[in-house]
């Protein structure tokens, strides 16, 4: 059967699956069973999931967990996390409890400005373009009045529209750089609708509009989170030495991009998990965060730490364009539940919570790396996954977990121990 097809999107779900199975899986009925077993038995809920994207054939589930004991700005939180990587939730929970007895996390939103751009080409006189923009600027605001009406009622809207000359980067390239405050909405559709309306009003014979689109690089939608304590309260022993190693680990990330990427990936483990759980766009957050890490011209750490007068301070500053209304946050039942668990936060409060989750994850990673090493705790958490892959019984699983209580966990070691266990029976 040919593996190209027309009209696939018009098939119902079973027809899509039948085509896939016959075209790629040699009519293996087991494939159908696997896909169907992840359908939600609640038809209303399944229909909701099916409508999120096109060509849905099943659901791909990720673990939905919580990390308790976070104290942020004096308020207690249990944070929802959706992630498949072992040890992330355990590390976040451990760090949350650690800092809950040391004053907790402090967080503050610095700014909430979001950005959209109209990119266009212009070969004429720049002075004439500037004059045209000045004459049209009031109209550019006016044409968005119907779109921005409700947003303005909530305290948001368009903040400013600037004409920017980008010809140094690309011949004849200019842009309208538009800034927004979208309050509790992430605002992608709102921003793009405004941009298209503005572009329509700005059209002129010698102006060639190329595209209108929001930017996921939002260096002015910024949040700061930190922890601090006496150096002697950081570790049971050798606090000064280990705290210096902790800081050196960050200095290495600032000096070496290869390390910085992995360092920041660990931060995003915590951030993405909460972003996904609350129905926000983790790809946009990732792109914006990594661009911000490169703003100096070199990719660096998103976190920093100091020791001054015997006080250890550890902080993160990161752009987070988030929403608590609209999109999946209002549609997905677990996203709504996650926000309710957090006390139905504003977008600003959610920025603080998610920045803290990233900071906590980085603290856990650096603490492990500069003391026992990352693999000891990670592989302990990974042990159960290896045991499941081996198809061990509950009795065998219990034995292996106890067996590796004080031993180094590696995949080969677990396989050998399991094989010996089976042979000795």
Confidence of residue 384 (pLDDT cuts 50, 70, 90): confident
Confidence of residue 198 (pLDDT cuts 50, 70, 90): very high
Rounded alpha-carbon distances, angstroms, from residue 388 to 296, 400, 404: 45, 11, 15
Confidence of residue 69 (pLDDT cuts 50, 70, 90): very high
Q: What is the mean pLDDT of residues 286-315?
A: 98
27-65 pLDDT, tens digit each: 999 999 999 999 999 999 999 999 999 999 999 999 999
Q: What is the mean pLDDT of residues 271-290?
A: 98
pLDDT surpassing 80 at residue 406: no
What DSSP state is assigned to residue 231? Answer: G
Name residue, tokens 């305290």. 155
Q: Select the more confidently predicted residue: 377 or 53.
A: 53
pLDDT surpassing 70 at residue 254: yes
223-251 pLDDT, tens digit each: 999 999 999 999 988 999 999 999 999 99
Find the catalytic residue in 85, 206, 395, 416: 85
pLDDT surpassing 70 at residue 203: yes
Residue 258 confidence (pLDDT): 98
Is residue 316 within 8 Å of 359, Cβ to Cβ?
yes
- Tell me, yes or no, if 85 is annotated catalytic: yes
- Tell me, yes or no, if 290 is annotated catalytic: no
Over pLDDT 70: what percentage of the chain? 97
Confidence of residue 418 (pLDDT cuts 50, 70, 90): confident
Over pLDDT 90: what percentage of the chain? 84
Residues pairing with 311 in the sheet: 230, 308
CB under 8 A, 24+ apart: contacts of 47-51: 48/331, 48/332, 48/333, 50/13
Q: Answer yes or no: pTM beyond 0.75.
A: yes
- Give the H/E segment covering residue 131: helix 126-142
- Tell me, yes or no, if 411 is annotated catalytic: no
Query: Where does 261-328 show beta strands of DSSP type E?
Result: 303-308, 311-319
> Which distant-in-sequence residues (6+ apart) come within 8 Å of 158 by Cβ?
141, 144, 148, 178, 179, 180, 194
21/157 Cα distance (integer angstroms): 49
- Tell me, yes or no, if 177 is annotated catalytic: no
Residue in 114, 113, 163 with CA at minimum distance from that of residue 137: 163
Q: Mean of the per-residue pLDDT values for the chain?
A: 94
Residue 377 confidence (pLDDT): 55
Confidence of residue 391 (pLDDT cuts 50, 70, 90): confident
86/383 Cα distance (integer angstroms): 10
Find the catalytic residue in 263, 348, 378, 382: 378
Q: What is the mean pLDDT of residues 98-124?
A: 98
Residue 1 confidence (pLDDT): 52
Find the catalytic residue in 166, 177, 265, 397: 265
285-298 pLDDT, tens digit each: 999 999 999 999 99
Q: Select the more confidently predicted residue: 406 or 37.
A: 37
Find the catalytic residue in 184, 226, 281, 352: 281
Confidence of residue 374 (pLDDT cuts 50, 70, 90): low
6/8 Cα distance (integer angstroms): 6
Q: What counts of helices (H) and strands (E) characterise the chain? A: 16, 10
243/268 Cα distance (integer angstroms): 23
147-163 pLDDT, tens digit each: 999 999 999 999 999 99
12-25 pLDDT, tens digit each: 999 999 999 999 99
Residue 375 confidence (pLDDT): 56
Is residue 85 within 8 Å of 170, Cβ to Cβ?
no
pLDDT surpassing 80 at residue 304: yes
């Amino acid at each position: 059967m040919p593996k190209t097809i027309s009209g696939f999107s018009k098939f119902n779900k079973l027809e899509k699956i039948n085509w896939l199975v016959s075209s790629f899986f040699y009519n293996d009925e087991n494939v159908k069973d696997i896909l169907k077993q992840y359908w939600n038995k609640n038809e209303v809920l399944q229909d909701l999931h099916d409508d999120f994207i096109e060509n849905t054939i099943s659901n791909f589930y990720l673990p939905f967990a919580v990390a308790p004991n976070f104290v942020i700005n004096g308020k207690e939180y249990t944070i929802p996390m959706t992630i498949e990587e072992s040890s992330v939730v355990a590390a976040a929970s451990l760090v949350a409890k650690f800092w809950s007895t040391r004053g907790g996390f402090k967080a503050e939103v610095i700014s909430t400005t979001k950005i959209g751009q109209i990119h266009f080409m212009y070969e004429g006189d720049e002075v004439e373009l500037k004059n045209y923009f000045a004459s049209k600027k009031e109209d550019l605001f006016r044409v968005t009045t119907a779109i921005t009406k409700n947003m303005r009622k909530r305290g948001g809207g368009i903040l400013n529209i600037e004409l920017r000359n980008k010809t140094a980067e690309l011949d004849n390239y200019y842009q309208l750089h538009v800034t927004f405050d979208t309050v509790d909405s992430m605002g992608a559709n709102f921003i793009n609708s405004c941009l298209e309306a503005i572009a329509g009003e700005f059209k002129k014979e010698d102006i060639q509009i190329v595209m209108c689109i929001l930017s996921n690089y939002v260096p002015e939608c910024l949040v700061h989170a930190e922890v601090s304590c006496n150096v002697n309260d950081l570790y049971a022993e050798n606090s000064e030495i280990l705290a210096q190693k902790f800081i050196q680990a960050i200095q290495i990330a600032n000096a070496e991009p290869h390390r910085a990427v992995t360092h920041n990936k660990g931060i995003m483990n915590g951030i993405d998990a909460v972003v996904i759980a609350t129905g926000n766009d983790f790809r946009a957050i990732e792109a914006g965060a990594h661009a911000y890490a490169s703003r100096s011209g070199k990719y660096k750490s998103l976190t920093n730490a100091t020791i001054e007068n015997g006080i250890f301070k550890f902080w993160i500053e990161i752009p987070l364009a988030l929403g608590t209304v609209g999109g999946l946050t209002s549609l997905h039942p677990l996203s709504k539940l996650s926000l309710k668990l957090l006390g139905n936060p504003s977008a600003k409060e959610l920025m603080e919570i998610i920045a803290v989750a990233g900071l906590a994850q980085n603290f856990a990673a650096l603490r492990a790396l500069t003391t026992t090493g990352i693999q000891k705790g990670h592989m302990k958490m990974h042990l159960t996954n290896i045991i499941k892959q081996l198809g061990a019984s509950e009795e065998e699983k219990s034995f292996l977990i106890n067996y590796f209580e004080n031993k180094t966990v590696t995949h080969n070691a677990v396989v050998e121990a399991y094989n010996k266990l089976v042979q000795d029976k």
